[in-house]
Amino acid sequence: MLAAHQLAIGYPARIVANHISLQLNPGEAVAVLGPNGSGKSTLFRTLLGLLPALQGEVRLNSRVLDALTPAEIARHVAYVPQVSASFFNFSVIEVVEMARAPHLAWYAKPGAFDRKISEQALDEVGMSSFANRMFSSLSGGEQQLVLIARALAAEAPTILLDEPTASLDFANQFLILDAIAKLAANGRSVLFTTHNPEHALRTARRTLTMSRDGEVEIGATDTILNSKSLASLYGIPIQLFDGPNGRMIAVAK
Amino acid sequence: MPMKPFFPTLTIALCVLTIVCLWALSVGQFAIPASEIFALIAAKLGGATTPRLAEMASADVVLFEIRAPRIAAAWLVGAALSAAGAAYQNLFRNPLVSPDILGVSSGAALGAVLGIFLSLPIIAIQGMAFGGGLLAVALIFVIGSKLRGHDPMLSLVLTGVVVGSLLASGLALLKYLADPTNQLPAITYWLMGSFASVASRDVGITALIFFASLTPLFLMRWRMNLLSLPDDEARALGLNVNRNRLVVIVAATLMTATSVSLCGMVGWVGLVVPHAVRLLVGAEFSRLLPLSMIIGGTFMLVVDTLCRTMTQIEIPPGVLTAAIGTPIFLLLMAATLRGKG
């Protein structure tokens, strides 16, 4: 279980945000919401152990993150990056199998067991039939699903997704949100960043908001996100409306 | 787009290599027909001897004392430069870099020329070449980190050009200082790259260092794929990026240095071959590495054999690789930049 306690994040010359306390529970999806430059990526890098905490600490199963090797962290926390163009072209199954690295010795290649785990991961996101396609030939939404499958193949109980719905078309955004809801329903701890309050309201039980001046709030999504808090978070008038099927709609005035 | 076939391509590449080896053994000033080659090899292996063996004494010398070491040297250099190129391309996440574009070859050449200048033994020349190559990579890393935030593809290529010209000025200084009657011609001919004067003892040492530096690359062949991802992504997948990168740089630079100290600077092979092989079998490094070595070795062997048989005098192989490599490089660069836009 990944937990941050009184965490200060940022760089030696500049603290980005302060006093972040957050525990990720199994079976729960948590959203991180905030404008550009509010430190969402910095928070992720700190939680993944890529950036040292300025104050406070991140603990993984009650052990301090700094004391763990990259492989030990990777076996417990999987990271789903934003889809970006790669210069090198791998097949889908090759991309997913990369997640087996923290389970393998430095000289080893993935074997039959790793292949099975990777195929199951692709199956869980409904991408089995794409296994032998080249990754770059897939659509943005399909690529994002493959990257989620890669996180699953790491067999990590905690999954961090960096803006998984960014740069996707309207339908694919909901495909990914449903996939995130399913990850949580299957007992994993999920943390994802988003630019869309509706996505947090739809998929996350709890939400952490980060404002540009470093203020951090966390709580149940439907209490922490309201017209007033969204307006102050983004600096423009925003109103929330009740939509059909209990969905909420955010409208900027 | 489906996955690209590996084993059929590997089989074809090995068949082509065998045929090219036979061709290279047989052609030249002293032509040896294939039947004699087989008879001589069989005799060497302690197999059937024919009464004609005595007549083939001079063919025996040409085959085993002159052509075989030269073929081994050409193959090793092509394979080493291609393996190093594939590794650098993965490491810098840039399909347009290679030992020569990055200036590693120039650094190794500077070190090796300094060794020749000081009349050092071959193993010391190898060491100097390795040191010069590492110096070039270090310069590229330092300058590259200052240019962060700009187009990494172009800034890396430009950095290599700048570092290469700096090292070339060092080379020019050494040539100027060298004894014009015996050292200067030796350095000049050697820099152009030639397999003509390769001794079998040097081939042995080169092969030893080549396989020693290939071992870590081969063992890490799958992990190399993760090194081609953005740093954060690779680290989040549990990779100790800095340590792995250091191992790959040392191995690839050592490979470049050995090939440079054996036959001087041969450009373009390390760029064009891994790039083309990636188009054939995809980017997965455990397939890219062996096939790049086989095809790179074959390519170098074809080039060297053409160089010594096309005309009365020998053409330096670096001239032919540049003539073939430059247009291919421009095509690949245009395709890569277009693909990005």
**A62-75: string of b/e by CB count within 10 Å (b at 16+)?**
eeebeebebbbbbb
Q: Could you tell me which chain A residue has the CA closest to the CA of B5? A: A132
Higher pLDDT, B168 or B300: B300
- The answer to whether the Cβ–Cβ distance between A134 and B237 falls below 8 Å is no
Nearest CB partner across the interface for B283, out of A48, A88, A133: A88
User: Is residue B1 over pLDDT 60?
Assistant: no
- The answer to whether the Cβ–Cβ distance between A88 and B239 falls below 8 Å is no
- The answer to whether the Cβ–Cβ distance between B233 and A91 falls below 8 Å is no
Distance from CA of A135 to the nearest CA of B (A): 9
What pLDDT shows up at residue A174? 93
Cα B64 from Cα B60, distance rounded (Å) = 6
What pLDDT shows up at residue B3? 62
Between helix B285-309 and helix B269-281 the angle, nearest 10°, is 130
User: Is residue B279 over pLDDT 70?
Assistant: yes
Cβ of A135 under 8 Å from any chain B Cβ? no
Q: What is the pLDDT of residues A161-202, one digit of tens each?
A: 999 998 888 998 999 999 999 999 999 999 999 999 999 999
Chain A residue numbers with beta carbons less than 8 Å from the beta carbon of B1 are: 133-134, 136-137
Quote ipTM for the complex.
0.91
**Nearest to A148, CA basis, from A176, A172, A184, A168:** A176
Q: What is the pLDDT of residues B18-62, one digit of tens each?
A: 999 999 999 988 888 888 888 888 888 876 666 676 777 888 888
**Nearest to A50, CA basis, from B116, B274, B238:** B238
What pLDDT shows up at residue B301? 96
- The answer to whether the Cβ–Cβ distance between A79 and B236 falls below 8 Å is yes
- The answer to whether the Cβ–Cβ distance between B282 and A91 falls below 8 Å is yes
Positive or negative: CA dihedral A194, A196, A198, A199: negative
Chain B residue numbers with beta carbons less than 8 Å from the beta carbon of A154 are: 237
Q: What is the pLDDT of residues B229-266, one digit of tens each?
A: 988 899 999 999 888 988 998 899 999 988 988 888 88
What pLDDT shows up at residue A56? 94
Cα angle: A175, vertex A176, A180; to 5 degrees: 120
What residues of B are in the A interface, CB distance below 8 Å?
1-3, 90, 93-95, 219-223, 225-226, 228-230, 232-233, 235-240, 244, 278, 282-284, 286, 336, 340
Cα A54 from Cα A251, distance rounded (Å) = 37
Chain A residue numbers with beta carbons less than 8 Å from the beta carbon of B219 are: 106-107
Q: Mean pLDDT of all residues in chain B?
A: 87
Burial of B143: CB neighbours in 10 Å, binned 0-12, 13-18, 19+: middle
Nearest CB partner across the interface for A70, out of B90, B94, B235: B235
For β-strands A238-242 and A248-252, DSSP reports them as antiparallel
Cβ of A48 under 8 Å from any chain B Cβ? yes
Alpha helices per DSSP H over B118-239: 122-146, 152-177, 183-192, 200-219, 224-227, 231-236
